[in-house]
Amino acid sequence: MKCGGIQRGDENEILLCVGLSSFFLLSFAFASFLDNFSSVCVLVQLTKDYTKS
């Protein structure tokens, strides 16, 4: 890889790296969001049961 200018092949490699890392970040964020979402659902269900009684 030359410092002066980015060659075509290097550009594709950079795009691939960026795409992969952002995909991993997105899937990680989505997984943690799903965990939080299920916790919220449980809390809401508990609150509903509590207010009913």
In a domain, residue 52? The reply is yes
In a domain, residue 1? The reply is no
In a domain, residue 30? The reply is yes
Q: State the residue range of the domain holding 33.
A: 7-53
All residues at 6 or more sequence positions from 6 whose CB lies less than 8 Å from its CB, including other chains: 14
For the chain, what is the domain count? 1
From start to end of the chain, where are the E strands? none
CA distances from 22 to 12, 26, 27, 43 (A): 15, 6, 9, 31
Confidence of residue 10 (pLDDT cuts 50, 70, 90): confident
**Cα dihedral 33→34→35→41 (10° resolution):** 110
Q: Which residue has the higher pLDDT, 2 or 21?
A: 21
In a domain, residue 16? The reply is yes
φ, ψ for residue 23, nearest 5 deg: -65, -45
| Confidence at residue 23, expressed as pLDDT on a 0 to 100 scale | 94
In a domain, residue 2? The reply is no
| Confidence at residue 6, expressed as pLDDT on a 0 to 100 scale | 59
In a domain, residue 31? The reply is yes
